[in-house]
Amino acid sequence: MKQKILLVFLTLFGIVAFGGAHQAAGVSTENQPDEDLTYSGHGYLLISPNQFRYGILEPGSNYTETFMAYNVGDQPISFNLSAEPFWVKDGTYEATYSEATNRTKISTWITFPGGTKYTLAPRDQDGDRAEFTVRIKVPSDAIGGGQYAAVMANIESADPGPGSFHAQSRIALFLYSTIDGDIIYSGKIINRGISGFSFNSIVKTSSTIENTGNADFEAHYRLLVEPFFGNKVAYDNTETKIILPETKRIFEQNWDGAPTLGIFNATQEITYVNENGEQVTDSFKHVVIICPLWLILIVIAIITSIVVANIAQRKKRKINHKKPSWDQE
């Protein structure tokens, strides 16, 4: 019986090893977009760029930048510009434009020298694009550290007629800045982890970084997956996220295209700014097993069948052994 059960496990082991080695041939280095901080546009209007990082802004100084708006649709489009505070609600970093804080005062320092109302012709026609100007006047008493705002292009639909609602949509141009003064770059990793087992074709990792300073910094996340039996790379992906001051950011980095079955070594590397203001890299490694539930159930069923058959066979032998010798002739 032990030999039969061992054979089942050796067969499963061989399938797992083959699955891991087979997937090692492909390498993915595609960077995923930062969906919560990069807005791809709504309707037919595009803003370029859709996020902008200023350098260090000096209190008492003015700064002017120009951006482009494009109509990529077949109909004219009208929009007006406004400046609103940009912040995030919680660790998931869902954007919010209604919370005014000490870190969003820049939204009140913004003006639009070229005007706020624009109408663009359909694409590929004269007037299908427009340049607009954003000016920031930093107060002389502005506090040091990060300041964040969103320039909104509020899109107005065609007039639907009397007695109807006037629908409106908008897209955002995110502005990141740091005011000169007492600037503190500081952060720490609160938790991190790699899921060691999965029923589905996925390798999951998660982490939470807290920005304990007053200015934003970038965190670089790398997920490296290698077969347990072999030295080829199965998956290698790096993503960059912005960590706003005085916030905690939860980030999940996964390999969604993993094989159905396999054993892997998964390494999670996070490069960030530590509590001393130094850029450091923290690395964590874990063995990951991917095995579908149906295969586990099949193995259990096979083992159960072997055990039941073995018990039945032993009972039959015991009964035959107890029979008188003349009954067996």
Sign of CA dihedral 210, 214, 216, 217: negative
Check whether residue 167 and residue 262 sit in a common domain: no
Q: Which of 19-33, 105-119, 154-168 has the lowest mean pLDDT?
A: 19-33
Task: Examine the domain organization and report whether 233 and 266 are in the same domain.
Answer: yes
**Per-residue model confidence (pLDDT) at position 325:** 56
| Percentage of residues of the chain with pLDDT beyond 70 | 78
Q: Does a structural domain hold residue 71?
A: yes
Q: What is the mean pLDDT of residues 299-307?
A: 78
Lowest model confidence (mean pLDDT) among 23-37, 82-96, 253-267, 295-309? 23-37
Answer whether residue 22 shows pLDDT above 90: no
In a domain, 323, yes or no: no
CATH no. for residue 140? 2.60.40.10
Structural domain including 231 reads 2-30+185-290
Domain assignment of residue 226, yes or no = yes
**DSSP assignment, residue 31?**
P
b (16+ CB within 10 A) / e for 260-283: ebbbbbbbbebbbbeeeeeeeeee
Structural domains counted in the chain: 2
Decide which of 216 and 30 is more confident: 216
Q: What is the pLDDT of residue 10?
A: 38
CA distance readout (Å), 218 to 85, 189, 245, 262, 273: 20, 13, 11, 33, 8
Is 37 domain-assigned?
no
How far is it, in rounded angstroms, from Cα 268 to Cα 164? 53
Confidence of residue 230 (pLDDT cuts 50, 70, 90): confident
Question: Please, which pLDDT band fits residue 103 given cuts at 50, 70 and 90?
Answer: very high
Which H/E stretch holds residue 83? strand 77-85
Give the domain-ending residue among 179, 203, 230.
179
Residues 78 and 189 in one domain: no
Q: Average pLDDT in the 17-34 region?
A: 35
Is residue 321, in this structure, part of any structural domain at all? no
Task: Provide the mean pLDDT of the chain.
Answer: 83
Same domain, 69 and 107: yes
| 312 located within any domain | no
Interval 186-208: pLDDT, tens: 999 999 999 989 888 999 999 99
Do 155 and 240 lie in one domain? The reply is no
